Amino acid sequence: MTQRAQGFWQWGSLCRLGLYVAALLCGVALWGIPALALPQGDAITDPRTLLRRALPIQDSRIWEIDEAITKIEADLKYNRWSAVRGDVRQVERLLDRYADPLLAELPPEQAAAASEAIAALRQELQLISQATERKSKGKEEARAAYDRLIDDLGSLENNWVGAFPYEVPDEYADKPQLLGRAEVELNTTAGRMVITLDGYSAPITAGNFADLVQRGFYDGLTFDRVEKFFLVQAGDPPGPADGYVDPATGRVRTIPMEIRVKGEVMPRYGQTFDQLGLWDVEPALPFAAEGTVAMARYPEDPNSASSQFFIFMAEPDLTPAGLNLMDGRYAVFGYVTEGTEVLRKIKLGDQILSARLISGQENLRNGA
């Protein structure tokens, strides 16, 4: 194990302990002052929703529809059948009110795609409503329809994403950049996963990873750190170097710390939230979902990430955004959106057979 991996291991173990301590403290708070301590609604733990909420869309009508649809999940989770049907009616009312004016603002091709997505949303909403009439007997069918509904919602919202919304600072022009989204297929000896990379929130971090995937850097590398129910880590190449050695310079290529604050347009660079004095903010991409993907680095140097990455798999209920020790300290650049179950099968020494960019190649820019 290299120094980078060993250092991260030590810090990660402290973080793991901290997560459980935080969970216990939250339990004390809930017991002591329930009215103040209870979270307002369920935390968002679905990576698809986290990724949608990170899109650069300014239209409040889109987010009103998104919020109404997301509410269905919590009521479905707790078997509140009549509430689910009420949620469905609310979404249908919003679609009736907003669909035509929203579509009128789009170019013809995008309007056609959005219209298709809206029709698909309406169909899945009807299926959810019908399934919940059968209560528990229809829950599986309703859940499947909700999963399709969320995918359709993502397709709808993509039509309102315009040009990349900001310029990456000139000082990082030599780094690869992902100016949008991309998907990476990771085939391992434990199974197949798909990682969605978010260049809107982390263009350099996601671009660095996508570039290394394109180079075949990860093919054949092993998972050299596996902590059950916490995380898996890979990306340490054979030999003395602990990251990707740029053939143009002969040195390990590193990237800056890059984390976007929720609600801000572009990321903060070079420092952790602690170092910036940001104590009461959340990142746009939090460690709130099983399958959160982030870069490993030396604990003492936030700008030392190179090729080693880890996939977080702690229980989302124990790691709410803003209440764990990872948010704002490590650069998240995507989420596992297919094959999350593979994470729990990975053992120490399992191998990445291949990593391939399966979408979003057009958004990758190589460094200057």
Right CATH for 3-25+175-365 from 3.40.1190.20, 2.40.100.10, 2.40.160.40, 2.30.130.10: 2.40.100.10
pLDDT of 325: 81
Cα–Cα distance for residue pair 223/226, rounded to 1 Å: 7
Grade residue 229 by pLDDT with cuts at 50, 70 and 90.
confident
For domain 57-160, say whether CATH 1.20.120.290 is its number. Answer: yes
Share of the chain above pLDDT 90, in %: 82
Q: How do residues 171-228 score in pLDDT, each as one tens digit?
A: 999 999 999 999 999 999 999 999 999 999 999 999 999 999 999 999 999 999 999 8
Q: What are phi and psi of 177, to 5 degrees?
A: -135, 140
Grade residue 8 by pLDDT with cuts at 50, 70 and 90.
low
pLDDT of 314: 75
For residue 366, what are the CA distances in angstroms to 109, 203, 360?
30, 11, 14
Q: Which pTM does this prediction carry?
A: 0.88
Sequence spans of domains, the chain: 3-25+175-365, 57-160
Q: How do residues 57-96 score in pLDDT, each as one tens digit?
A: 999 999 999 999 999 999 999 999 999 999 999 999 999 9
Grade residue 20 by pLDDT with cuts at 50, 70 and 90.
very low
Domain 3-25+175-365 shares a fold with domain 57-160: no
pLDDT of 322: 53
Mean per-residue pLDDT of the chain: 89
